Structure 1
């Protein structure tokens, strides 16, 4: 199923085991894992593939989506392995967990990210989704180079108390309670992962701690985005791309 055609790129849902295997291969390359990047969630998620049609349909971006009818199902999400999400069990609308987002390392066109979000917007609108969430990752497990980014998250982007994830993982960086610095905005934005930057521009929020994931060699924060809270101008822009 094609979600979006825009310029040289096409975004579609995976239709076969081969499509999923191609996504796993791209993830393995992008995340630089020693083994094929796959897990039990691949079998229950929808996979979005972004292809460059001027490069013979080369897969240049992918991510997966797990749809839940409401917050009561939050415990079956990937993120629930790392965060206590019991506060979100009260969320009544439909949710989608967006995960394993990656872009081919040889492609740097910013239109790829726009097409990916346009495809997500099309899916959200068609299915009445009210919240997107997932884990936003910083490369590596050392916090030092990201202190300005974490200070900015603390200052401007913490989750509302009613949805705030609690600590569950054994190894975490409690940046909201530990950092006592005013962020350098320029440095913060330079060190902020592109996907997280996009969430934040749309009104997204994060957990008050980062999980240290040594298996994936990342630091990640739980990230949520309530669709109804997206600024109208940003929503119009996304729907223009999606249309």
Structure 2
């Protein structure tokens, strides 16, 4: 038991990846979590126009799920000041057992995530959410670092399926008709891992017939996060949801680890054996 606790502590404090002056690891303190929430606020509220009515006081994007999550952080070690002020990107990670203890997943309000989990009692699920990077750091190497951290995390906790919401900007699905239709026709999950938007919020993604879709332009119109998910082998569930608070159209992404391309596992997970539990 003591050895298990030591391994857990080592993982929680380890640097999970480095590229140049950037490094990725989990948050180690309340101050770092608060700083990550400030980064989220700057991106979601100041930049993208999310509404502030349901937020606590202060310039932080925070909700009840934060306490149950692990927070993956990218730091620029070249910046001056205390370490928690060097955070330039973040991802929120919610493991299945933590979600159950907290009363569910964030995605449950939009998609029937719980039904998917119930169909796979032998799998361990991880919800990915609140992904954001400050504008000046939106580069390939920052995204690569976040993925390195995710690979280390799923290796350590033996995650079988990653899933979560991903968004288009704005609240009108028709404004993204070609891209959403492309997802509906070419990128749907298998029946085994299908997830449907909750009935009262369900909006169809199938807005154009297949023959009307220009595959190249549709793929180019996808948000970078969704492109990245699809690139490693992810698929999307049935239907989209309009989120008026965050001013987005959300789709649900499912990534069974066994279906992720081996070249991506080799590329991003080259040292994840260090973190195997």
Q: Structure 1 length normalisation: TM-score?
A: 0.91
Per the alignment, residue 134 of structure 1 pairs with 164
RMSD across aligned C-alpha pairs, in angstroms? 2.3
**1:10 equivalent in alignment to 2:23:** yes
- Within the candidate set 28, 41, 50, 1:28 is matched to 41
| Secondary structure class of the residue paired with 1:76 | coil
1:141–1:213 CA contact under 8 A, matched in 2: yes
Residue 76 of structure 1 deviates from its aligned partner by: 1.1
Structure 1 stretches lacking a partner, 5+ long: none
Per the alignment, residue 110 of structure 2 pairs with 82
Judged with a 3 Å threshold, the aligned counterparts in structure 2 of structure 1 residues 241 and 60 are, in CA distance, closer, same or farther, namely farther
Judged with a 3 Å threshold, the aligned counterparts in structure 2 of structure 1 residues 50 and 165 are, in CA distance, closer, same or farther, namely same
Please identify, of 89-98 and 31-40, the stretch whose mean Cα deviation from structure 2 is larger: 31-40
Tell me how far apart the structure 1 counterparts of residues 204 and 17 of structure 2 sit (CA, whole Å): 39
Tell me how far apart the structure 2 counterparts of residues 143 and 109 of structure 1 sit (CA, whole Å): 27
2:110–2:201 CA contact under 8 A, matched in 1: no
Task: List per-residue Cα deviations over 1:174-215 (Å, max 9, x = no partner).
Answer: 113x43244222322222121111111111111121100001
Select the structure that is richer in strand. Answer: 1
Residue 160 of structure 1 deviates from its aligned partner by: 1.3
- Within the candidate set 43, 65, 80, 2:67 is matched to 43
Tell me how far apart the structure 2 counterparts of residues 166 and 230 of structure 1 sit (CA, whole Å): 22
Structure 2 stretches lacking a partner, 5+ long: 1-12
Q: Which aligned runs of 4 or more in structure 1 are off by greater than 6 angstroms? A: 70-75
| Secondary structure class of the residue paired with 1:83 | coil
Aligned residue pair count: 242
1:119–1:242 CA contact under 8 A, matched in 2: no
Residue 96 of structure 1 deviates from its aligned partner by: 0.9
**1:53 equivalent in alignment to 2:77:** yes
